């Protein structure tokens, strides 16, 4: 009997991920590499279609896979910076060929960044909202834009304090549709040495990972996608890829 090559490849990947999860030494070495690379501003070094995208390439690859599988009609992202990730999401939706939209929220969209985002060819799929992501009025605007347009994917990447992220989780998790994802970036702050974060209001014990853990203790709609994390090894979002498993 011939073996289906597609299924054979799928099984090989499953085995690879299982082995990666079990390899504690490699996981520790990956964390060591991230700490060393972070000292050189590694995440600031990349662009997507011309705009700076402050993410690890590995996490962009993970998002690409999720977007292709989910085929969202709306992608919500809190935290805009230079806009590279908004352009990334919009370009993925463009490839899908649907009429999907990207909603970006930031408390301060700097003029030079807004100009570059708005002149980009992918801006046709982007809506910008300036305001705090935890402002209930802002959250209502986002909910109205997402209403009736599932599937919805939400990405949180703004202020990284525990209280702020927890409030974002409370406000935006209801938008995420069953089978889609709620992605929380920079949970890796909890795993970094305490001296690694010195000039920010967040740090060990007060960061996105601690907020995710408290949120998951209250909600049964989401589970951590451990396979995705194990596959990446290098990610700023350990325990941050949350799959929605209930309506």
201 confidence band (pLDDT: 50, 70, 90)? confident
Q: What is the pLDDT of residues 81-99, one digit of tens each?
A: 999 999 999 999 999 999 9
Per-residue pLDDT, averaged over 125-131, amounts to 98
DSSP 165-215: HHHHHHHHGGGSPTT-EEEETTGGGGGS-GGG--SSS-BTTBSHHHHHHHH
- CATH number of the CATH domain containing 188: 3.40.50.150
Give the distance, in angstroms, between the CA of residue 42 and the centroid of all CA atoms in the same chain.
Answer: 17
Question: 137 to each of 14, 43, 129, 203, how far by Cα in Å?
Answer: 43, 32, 11, 28
8 Å CB contact between 102 and 75:
yes
β-partners of residue 222 are 244
pLDDT in tens, 10-65: 999 999 999 999 999 999 999 999 999 988 999 999 999 999 999 999 999 999 99
Measured in degrees and rounded to the nearest 5, phi and psi for residue 113 equal -75, -40
| Number of compact structural domains in the chain | 1
Contact 183, 134 (CB under 8 A): no
CB-CB neighbours of 60 under 10 Å: 17
Write out the residue range of the structural domain in which residue 176 sits: 5-244
């Amino acid at each position: 009997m011939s073996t289906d090559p597609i299924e054979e490849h799928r099984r090989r990947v499953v085995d690879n991920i299982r082995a990666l999860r079990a390899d504690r030494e490699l996981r520790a070495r990956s964390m060591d590499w991230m700490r060393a690379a972070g000292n050189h501003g590694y995440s600031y070094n990349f662009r997507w279609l011309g705009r700076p995208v402050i993410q690890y390439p590995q996490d962009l690859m993970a998002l690409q896979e999720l977007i292709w599988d989910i085929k969202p009609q709306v992608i919500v992202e809190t935290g805009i910076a230079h806009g590279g990730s908004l352009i990334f999401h919009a370009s993925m939706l463009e490839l899908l060929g649907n009429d999907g939209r990207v909603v970006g929220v930031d408390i301060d969209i700097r003029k030079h960044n807004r100009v570059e985002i708005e002149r980009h060819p992918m801006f046709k799929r982007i809506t910008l909202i300036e305001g705090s992501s935890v402002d209930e009025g802002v959250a209502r605007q986002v909910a109205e834009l997402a209403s009736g347009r599932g599937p919805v994917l939400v990405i949180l990447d703004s202020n990284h304090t525990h209280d702020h992220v927890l409030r974002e989780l409370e406000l935006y998790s209801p938008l995420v549709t069953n089978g889609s994802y709620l992605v929380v970036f920079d949970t890796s702050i909890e795993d970094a040495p305490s001296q690694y974060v010195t000039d920010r209001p967040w740090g060990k014990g007060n960061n996105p990972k601690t907020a995710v853990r408290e949120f998951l203790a209250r909600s049964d709609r989401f589970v951590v996608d451990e396979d995705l994390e194990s596959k990446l090894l290098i990610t700023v979002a350990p325990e941050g890829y949350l799959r929605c498993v209930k309506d």
